[in-house]
Structure 1
Amino acid sequence: MLKKTHACFDVQIEDKVAHIVLSRGDAMNTMTKDFWNELPAIVREIDSEALARVIVISSTGKHFSAGMDLSVFASDGSVSSTTKNPYIAAEVFRSNIRQIQSSFNALEEARIPVLIACQGGVIGGAIDMISAGDIRWCTKDAFFCIQETNIAMTADVGTFPRLQRYIPEGWVKQMAYTGMRLKADQAKDIHLVNDVFDTQEEMMAHVMGVAKEIASKDPITVVGCKTLINYGRDHSTADTLDYIGVWNAGMMPHSHMKEAFTAMAEKRAPEFPDLGKLRNTPM
């Protein structure tokens, strides 16, 4: 078992499942500057070093996350906060937003699946965060809110392009235009979450069970599933079918298939090799 503690997260890796836990429950897990730096670094290390086959993200305290911490908006002496030229300030602001957006891009870009378990409030930036994951669950006390509208902002870290992939556009617009709180049962009805649980303990038992099931499968096959599902979301059926053919022609793991069939015949768990490590820096 591998354990690491960060300013905003606790990380545990066991049985090929990485569990990332938002650890500032007493502060409603607001997203501080440390949060934005730590999350992508943690996810990319797990992915690039092939430390696990699946990632689970959960939280502590009453709320999953209350979104962006006000300290992130505080003046830091940068050009955007000191210049009197609005155009220069706007360009710096845009570049800073792109950097923040990249923190959640890491969840979508990871080779391995990212599963997210939510309780209580999933507010503002937390919507951006869960939208970048692969599968979501919640407890019955959970609610989902595009809070930015309520403070005269437009959500800008990934909510709009991602959320409408999972739920009907009309619901995205209603949540965005009104800043309403979407309840847990509504979230399930519109397919934002796969299921709703009475308690966090029940939810985590289920989610970790799914994670362990994923971790037992051939990692290359699971990577292929994530890659091709995401590709199909953004491309035509014809293009996606062609890409699937190319993928299978180059990466269908015949020896792994043989192991799967042999294991079934022998009534044992199959043994598959882990993914390879990635190069962390350009050549």
Structure 2
Amino acid sequence: MGQPYESVTVETHDHIAQVTLIGPGKGNAMGPAFWSEMPEVFAALDADRDVRAIVITGSGDNFSYGLDLPAMGGSLGAVLAEGTSARPRADFHAEILRMQKAINAVADCRTPTIASVHGWCIGGGVDLIAATDIRYASADAKFSVREVKLAIVADMGSLARLPLIVNDGQLRELALTGKDIDAARAEKIGLVNEVFADAEATLAAARATAADIADNPPLTVRGIKDVLDQQRIAAVSASLRYVAAWNAAFLPSKDLAEGISATFAKRPAKFTGE
């Protein structure tokens, strides 16, 4: 992978690629580079016959804080400023669909993917791990489907893919409250496969599983993924299209402006339903 990326590093060794989130936003937050580069990164990995498994992790103390709000606020600001006009809503709808491709690139990758999560995994971070095949977490990991706290309906895939991972009641509790859960709870509800002592042990376990996969016949592995994925493609695609249209229509609101303002001011939001 000769080309350097702004949002990730990619290293390949012994048929295993490691994709490490590096931001550049705080806590590996997902800014413009992430949404633009991920389809390219995973298309290149998927086309590389030497790569038989992919591990995704985060640099530093966290997996990802999710959407880089300061860096990505322009799209939301335009819709809020001209919310009654059709053009900014149409442009925003196109932007949602474009950003969804970054997570779809992971989900649609024919090469098996394993997430190694430590520290915070918030919002877009949960979207990303929901698109992987296998999820491991360190004991310090914390997860949150937090979009509701910003008056946003999560639209990058967690509401489409988590119903295939955790049961309905658990997902509704996470999405409707925006609460944080620890690694033990995440394992209990099936969000992660297993919990390890720390980030180093988690990454080692992810790489060991990747090695086990890489030892198997690659065409058969791809066939297993293909057959399993066929059971979910239609439902996930329909959900992603629906939420993109829903948010283009209804996301602009006083509550959205309040959620963003409260986040930047680090104060509790006061929502009015307007």
For Structure 1 versus Structure 2, the TM-score category normalised by the shorter chain is 0.7 to 0.9
Aligned to 1:47: 46
The structure with more radius of gyration = 1
Aligned to 1:147: 146
Aligned to 1:249: none
**Separation (CA, whole Å) in 2 of partners of 1:181 and 1:85:** 34
Structure 2: tracts of 5 or more residues without a match: 235-274
**Aligned pair 1:32/2:31, yes or no?**
yes
In structure 1, give the amino acid aligned to 2:43: R
**Separation (CA, whole Å) in 2 of partners of 1:82 and 1:147:** 24
The RMSD of aligned alpha carbons is 2.2
In structure 1, give the amino acid aligned to 2:145: I
Aligned to 1:222: 221
1:5-36 Cα distance to aligned partner (Å, 9 max, x none): 42121110111111101124882000010111
CA spacing shift, 1:232–1:26, aligned 2, 3 Å: closer
**Separation (CA, whole Å) in 2 of partners of 1:194 and 1:100:** 27
Deviation, 1:94, is 0.9
- C-alpha contact 1:4 1:11 (8 A) present in aligned 2: no
**Separation (CA, whole Å) in 1 of partners of 2:227 and 2:102:** 22
Larger mean Cα displacement after TM superposition, 111-120 or 5-14: 5-14
**Aligned pair 1:124/2:135, yes or no?**
no
Aligned to 2:252: none
Deviation, 1:86, is 2.0
Normalization by structure 2: what TM-score? Answer: 0.79
1:111-137 Cα distance to aligned partner (Å, 9 max, x none): 111110000110011111111111100
Aligned to 2:257: none
1:45-84 Cα distance to aligned partner (Å, 9 max, x none): 11123340111101111211001012343337x9858767
In structure 1, give the amino acid aligned to 2:153: T
State the secondary structure of the residue aligned to 2:95.
Answer: helix
In structure 1, give the amino acid aligned to 2:100: Q
In structure 2, give the amino acid aligned to 1:95: A
Aligned to 2:258: none
State the secondary structure of the residue aligned to 2:11.
Answer: strand
**Separation (CA, whole Å) in 2 of partners of 1:141 and 1:79:** 37
CA spacing shift, 1:81–1:51, aligned 2, 3 Å: farther
Aligned to 2:210: 211
**Separation (CA, whole Å) in 1 of partners of 2:58 and 2:23:** 8
- C-alpha contact 1:3 1:12 (8 A) present in aligned 2: no
**Separation (CA, whole Å) in 2 of partners of 1:64 and 1:89:** 32
- C-alpha contact 1:80 1:90 (8 A) present in aligned 2: yes
CA spacing shift, 1:149–1:84, aligned 2, 3 Å: closer
Deviation, 1:234, is 5.9
**Separation (CA, whole Å) in 2 of partners of 1:141 and 1:3:** 34
- C-alpha contact 1:80 1:88 (8 A) present in aligned 2: no
- C-alpha contact 1:54 1:114 (8 A) present in aligned 2: yes
Deviation, 1:176, is 0.8
**Separation (CA, whole Å) in 2 of partners of 1:79 and 1:155:** 19
CA spacing shift, 1:204–1:164, aligned 2, 3 Å: same
How many corresponding residue pairs?
A: 234
- C-alpha contact 1:117 1:203 (8 A) present in aligned 2: yes
**Separation (CA, whole Å) in 1 of partners of 2:71 and 2:62:** 19
Aligned to 2:173: 174
What percent identity do the matched residue pairs reach? 30
Aligned to 1:185: 184
Structure 1: tracts of 5 or more residues without a match: 236-283
Normalization by structure 1: what TM-score? Answer: 0.77
**Separation (CA, whole Å) in 2 of partners of 1:83 and 1:234:** 35
CA spacing shift, 1:26–1:41, aligned 2, 3 Å: closer
In structure 2, give the amino acid aligned to 1:100: M
- C-alpha contact 1:25 1:61 (8 A) present in aligned 2: no
